[in-house]
Amino acid sequence: MDNKPDSKIVIQVQQEDGNFDVETPWATSLGNDLYRLENIPFFAYGVSWQDTVFAPYDEEEQRPVFIAVEKKSGNRTIRAIFNPPIENGNSSQNILEKITDTGAEYEGATPSFIAINIPPEVDLFSVCEILNKEEIEWEHADPTYAELYEKEEE
């Protein structure tokens, strides 16, 4: 089987105001409406790079549409907003280099909005510490903040 991405899938994320953010990451078809994500999600929560997702073809969208995660890859996702935008040699680029030195990887939606992949062998909290120390605005995307910190009321 060819391991190169062969499809774009649609991931729709409903916002509080009822509108949707839509992203179309590359994915590799695994058959039976299953795909392995080949991009780090920029808007979706609870899904990360290389997760296997269920995404049946949708006639209206003319592409497979994400329904659910079938199998977690072990990767985790956080998203950050860098100010100033990342440019060669600036302070934001230096912070991003500290993050990649941990073994994390990233993709940029823009020079300011960055999705960071934290592989299973990299300590999630060490990356969070760098972002906090450098006062970067960021969020947990997978696992979410609620999954990590909020306890159910008894």
Write the DSSP assignment of 17-46 as a string of letters.
TS-EEEE--EEEEEETTEEEE-S--SS-SS
Q: Which residue has the tokens 């969070």?
A: 128
The number of residues in the chain equals 154
Two structure tokens written together for 139: 């969020």
Topology annotation, domain 76-149:
Alpha-Beta Plaits (3.30.70)
Dist CA 51 CA 98 (whole Å) = 25
> Which ranges in the chain belong to alpha helices (H)?
91-101, 124-133, 145-149
Instruction: Return the domain boundaries, the chain.
Output: 7-71, 76-149
Two structure tokens written together for 12: 């729709």
- Say what the pTM is: 0.89
The pLDDT tens digits along the chain (154 residues) read 345 678 999 999 888 888 888 999 999 999 999 999 999 999 999 999 999 999 999 999 899 999 999 999 999 999 999 999 999 999 999 999 999 999 999 999 999 999 999 999 999 999 999 999 999 999 999 999 889 887 654 4
DSSP SS3 for 77: strand
